[in-house]
Chain A
């Protein structure tokens, strides 16, 4: 047990550096497009928070389109994918559009594996969407 404890402590503190304790969600409405910048790990805990914040904004503002900026997202799992799919359905139901920008190679791999990229286009940056 003595030999294991330092490993566990180190693992715990390294998880804090990029984990949900460091998550930030920034929402900005530009005309009728909600731009959501997320930083941290998009897992079960963060997904719930993200879902609530986006839905609250959609309900209170005139949001037609949604842009998820994942430049600072270091991890995503199926909980994060679930939030993305749920928001896509919501935008689609209102004839709006949704885009994902800035996914890292590791995050993009998960998005492509799940097939989400066939529903929600992936772009390198927000500038690329403006140029559409």
Chain B
């Protein structure tokens, strides 16, 4: 499968940059001729993934780096990869359970939203070696949706 187009950007682990990351990915994804609902869901997914980096990976340290890579593939799928070099996840299965959070003041719904709004989710992480979250969603053409 070929990458038709991509954009890669990196930014400081500041809460101020979460909104920018959402808007950037959403703007790039409009090449796929998506519905407004699709765009809103993508924004939520990016917001959750990036917020996880800031809150959990970097424990709110603001001088770290977050990398986002967004790709549009030949088959109209959108792939979003969010990477950090933070503390990593000890138990990935536990971390992605709904309502689980290492911080009791949090909802623990970040991964739940990502899993629900994307078709595929993979989490690669080792303690002390950062985390990579890979998310993929397939979009049918609008005329195909009408006949579904």
| Interface of A toward B, CB cutoff 8 Å | 4, 7-8, 10-12, 14-15, 19-20, 41, 43-45, 48, 75, 77-79, 81-82, 85-86, 106, 110, 113-114
Q: Is the interface of A mostly helix, strand, loop or mixed?
A: helix
Instruction: Report the nearest B residue to A10, measured CB to CB.
Output: B27
B107 touches A15 (CB 8 A): no
Question: What's the A-B contact tally at a CB cutoff of 8 Å?
Answer: 81
| Interface of B toward A, CB cutoff 8 Å | 7, 9, 15-16, 18-20, 22-24, 26-28, 37, 40, 43-44, 47-48, 51, 54-55, 105-110, 113, 116
Q: Is the interface of B mostly helix, strand, loop or mixed?
A: helix
Which of A10, A79, A110 is packed against the most chain B CB atoms within 10 Å? A79
Closest chain-B Cβ to A19's Cβ sits at a distance in Å of 4
With A4-B7, A11-B20 in contact, do A82 and B106 touch (Cβ < 8 Å)? yes
Which are the 3 A-B pairs with shortest beta-carbon distances?
A15-B23, A45-B15, A11-B27
Enumerate chain B residues within 8 angstroms of A11, measured Cβ to Cβ: 20, 23-24, 26-28
CA A20 to CA B16, docked complex, whole Å: 7
B23 touches A12 (CB 8 A): yes
